Structure 1
Amino acid sequence: MQIELDETGVVDTTCSCPYDHGGICKHRVAVLLTYIRDPDEISQRPPVSELVADTDPQQPRTLLVALVERRADLVERIES
């Protein structure tokens, strides 16, 4: 689950659940309600692109290989 906020409010939300009936899923609603009521309960993280910006190029490659070895469904995405 990911919810992107900026100073104006909600920019984007994503969830891996299969909900596809219009609007947003209950998971996103629950996180947004929690954020409104108790924002300290929500972990805020920088984008992955920022996290890997200054790493040794071999580190993300090693991590990617390990991830794909555990998740065979990602092989097609890597091949394309």
Structure 2
Amino acid sequence: MYTGYVKSYLDEDVQTTFFVKRYPTLQMEFHDPFANEGDDVPIDQLRLADRAGFADYCKYRFGITGNSTQALEKCKKGIPSYL
């Protein structure tokens, strides 16, 4: 309940990063739309599903709650470099 993971993509490789969740949940896999080597999309331009998944990731990995652009930008800055 307290372990989660996120996958990052670099070329053909997939890297799985495990983390300790801040809150208990049965969800184990989380989505980080910035965990790839593609173009960096502004938070405001994320699809609704990507934004919601990223908000969940921010809440459970970093304890940042809220779906506002400001909260998600703060979370994005705290993400360790995957590449």
Q: Given the two structures, how large is their TM-score scaled by the length of structure 1?
A: 0.25
Report which of the two has the higher share of strand.
2
Report which of the two has the higher share of helix.
1
Q: Given the two structures, how large is their TM-score scaled by the length of structure 2?
A: 0.24
Q: Which has the larger radius of gyration?
A: 1
Which structure ranks higher in relative contact order (CA pairs < 8 Å, sequence separation ≥ 6)?
2
